């Protein structure tokens, strides 16, 4: 037996090992889990108390601002109402009363108070409330007054129109380079100086036509008179544009026109600074800055110091006074002229007399009594 055990001890121990492993497996993997009985817990909800947030000192507190309710849009009227350049609250109210737009002119004038009613054109209607009427009249006019003084070149007129009517740079450039170049005689001189009431919505082309139409209306009475004197209207307008720039005032225009006619009739050079200023343009000191000695050498058909006769076209847009002076110049033998420091014109027949006037009125300082 002992010999049998020794002989088969390896087999016996192997069998014992397998038995032990099986027993362990059965114990652990066939054991039933213990299930504990649990009592369901009732979940009770209570109202959540408001959370109070405290801010630390020096911590900015964000507050929600309430935006004001915008006023209602202004009503759209059907009638044109004009506020002139000289109207006051009293005259505006009186005109509204006479048109049947308000019932009490005094009350409306007082209501205007410090509100600004800009000159121009507005669209209003009868039957509006006082508040509606005041809302429209204190807003932006759909038509604006434009005052174009005489003697400007078209670039200056363009800047004036752009400033008043709100033109863009592109619109301003189009007026200068396109609208006013449709015909050779429309380059300059026909954009009549006057007071205009112009719709803001008008195109640059429409404004150009408006100005030309005004010139035609103003100039038409003079056209047959220039024709009777065998003077082309374009030549008359060009000379008038020079007279406009050269004369110290309207009273001097016939004399300046007479002197310039004398130079033209005698085949002399006009020798006027204004045509040279036009040729030079704006070099940073304005369109009509005083000329220099160097400017007199500018190679341009508008340089009347080196070219005889009239320049190719007008150099400014003249007034009716200047046009009338060219048609009816003063009779004079003078060839030369100058303006003293008080803007008084002194003319002379000879160049020697001109030099004496220069010495007397421009170089020699005035004596004090």
DSSP string, 280-340: H--SSS-TTPPP-TGGGG---TT-TTTSBS--SS-SS---HHHHHHHHSPPP----EEEE-
Residues 266 and 173 in one domain: no
Q: Is the pTM of this model over 0.75?
A: yes
Question: Do residues 235 and 327 both lie within one domain?
Answer: yes
Per-residue confidence (pLDDT) for residue 22, from 0 to 100: 43
Residue 247's nearest CA partner among 351, 318, 148, 301 is: 318
| Residue 94 neighbours by CB distance under 10 Å | 17
Bridge partners, 120 (sequence order): 83
- Do 245 and 277 fall within a single domain? yes
Q: How many domains, in total, are found in the chain? A: 3
Task: Identify the pLDDT of residue 36.
Answer: 44
Domain residues for the domain of 166 are 143-219
Question: What is residue 17's predicted lDDT score, i.e. its pLDDT?
Answer: 54
- Ordered alpha helix ranges (H), the chain: 2-7, 9-29, 89-98, 105-112, 130-137, 154-165, 169-177, 204-219, 223-228, 233-246, 253-265, 273-280, 320-327, 351-358
Per-residue pLDDT, 114: 86
* Tens digit of each residue's pLDDT (9 = 90 or more) over 121-172: 999 999 999 999 999 999 999 999 999 999 999 999 999 999 999 999 999 9
Q: What CATH number is given to the structural domain containing 101?
A: 3.30.1490.480
Q: Which residues contact 193 (CB under 8 A, 6 or more apart)?
A: 148, 149, 150, 151, 152, 317, 318, 319
Domain check: are 292 and 235 in the same one?
yes
The number of C-alpha atoms within 13 Å of 175 and in the hemisphere containing its C-beta is: 28
319 and 150 Cβ atoms separated by less than 8 Å: yes
Question: Is residue 259 one of the residues assigned to a domain?
Answer: yes
In a domain, 268, yes or no: yes
Q: What is the pLDDT of residue 369?
A: 54
Q: Which of 219, 239, 256 is the last residue of a domain?
A: 219
Query: Which of 85, 78, 87, 123 shows the shortest CA–CA distance to 105?
Result: 87
Domain finish residue from 219, 252, 280 = 219
Q: Is residue 263 part of a domain?
A: yes
Are the C-beta atoms of residues 224 and 201 closer than 8 Å to each other? Answer: no
Whether the CB-CB separation of 182 and 154 falls below 8 Å is answered with no
Q: Which of 284, 282, 280 is nearest to 292 (CA)?
A: 280
* Residue 72 confidence (pLDDT): 80
Whether residues 241 and 327 fall in one domain: yes
Residue 28 lies in a domain: no
Residues 120, 192, single domain; the answer is no
pLDDT of the chain, 369 residues: tens digit per residue: 445 445 555 554 554 554 555 454 444 444 444 444 444 434 444 444 444 444 455 555 555 666 777 778 889 999 999 999 999 999 999 999 999 999 999 999 999 988 999 999 999 999 999 999 999 999 999 999 999 999 999 999 999 999 999 999 999 999 999 999 999 999 999 999 999 999 999 999 999 999 999 999 999 999 999 999 999 999 999 999 999 999 999 999 999 999 999 999 999 999 999 999 999 999 999 999 999 999 999 999 999 999 999 999 999 999 999 999 999 999 999 999 999 999 999 999 999 999 999 999 999 756 655
**Farthest-apart Cα atoms in the chain, separation:** 173
Q: With respect to residue 101, please indicate whether it lies within any of the assigned structural domains.
A: yes
Distance CA 247, CA 326 (A): 12
Does any domain span residue 367? no
Number of Cβ atoms within 10 Å of the Cβ of 274? 22
261 shares a domain with 286:
yes
Q: Looking at the structure, do residues 306 and 262 belong to the same domain, yes or no?
A: yes
Give the domain-ending residue among 175, 192, 219. Answer: 219
Asked if residue 164 is part of any domain, the answer here is yes
Same domain, yes or no: 313 and 236: yes
| pLDDT of the residue at 176 | 98
On whether both 281 and 323 belong to a single domain, the answer is: yes
If asked whether residues 238 and 205 sit together in one domain, one would say no
> What is the rounded distance in angstroms from the CA atom of residue 19 to the CA atom of residue 219?
135
Assess whether 211 and 259 both reside in one domain: no
29 is a domain residue:
no
């Amino acid at each position: 037996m002992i010999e049998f055990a020794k002989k088969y001890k390896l087999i016996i121990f192997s069998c014992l090992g397998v038995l032990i492993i099986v027993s362990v497996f059965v114990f652990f993997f066939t054991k039933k889990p213990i299930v504990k009985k649990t009592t369901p817990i009732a979940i009770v909800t209570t109202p959540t108390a408001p959370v109070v947030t405290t801010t630390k000192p020096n911590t900015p507190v964000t507050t929600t601002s309430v935006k004001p309710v915008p006023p209602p849009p202004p009503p759209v009227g059907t009638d044109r109402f004009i506020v002139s350049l000289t109207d006051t609250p009293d005259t505006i109210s009186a005109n509204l009363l006479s048109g049947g737009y308000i019932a009490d002119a005094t009350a409306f004038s007082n209501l205007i108070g410090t509100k600004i009613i800009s000159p121009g054109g507005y669209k209003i209607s009868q039957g509006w409330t006082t508040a509606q009427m005041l809302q429209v009249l204190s807003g932006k006019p759909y038509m604006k007054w434009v005052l174009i003084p005489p003697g400007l070149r078209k670039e200056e007129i363009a800047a004036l129109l752009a400033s008043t009517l709100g033109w863009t740079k592109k619109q301003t450039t189009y007026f200068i380079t396109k609208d006013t170049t449709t015909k050779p005689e429309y380059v300059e001189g026909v954009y009549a100086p006057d007071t205009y009431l112009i719709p803001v919505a008008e195109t640059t082309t429409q404004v150009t036509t408006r100005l030309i139409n005004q010139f035609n209306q103003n100039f038409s009475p003079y056209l047959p008179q220039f024709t009777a004197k065998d003077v082309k209207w374009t030549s008359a307008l060009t000379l008038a544009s020079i007279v406009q720039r050269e004369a110290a005032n309207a009273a001097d225009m016939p004399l300046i026109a007479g002197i310039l006619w004398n130079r033209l009739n005698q085949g002399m050079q006009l020798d006027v600074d204004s045509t040279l200023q036009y040729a030079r343009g704006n070099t940073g000191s304005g369109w009509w800055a005083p000329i220099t000695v160097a400017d007199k050498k500018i190679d341009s058909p508008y340089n009347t110091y080196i070219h005889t006769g009239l320049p190719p076209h007008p150099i400014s847009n003249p007034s009716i006074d200047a046009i009338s002076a060219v048609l009816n110049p003063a009779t004079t033998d003078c060839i030369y002229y100058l303006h003293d420091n008080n803007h008084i014109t002194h003319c002379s027949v000879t160049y020697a007399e001109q030099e004496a006037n220069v010495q007397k009125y421009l170089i020699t300082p005035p004596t004090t009594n």
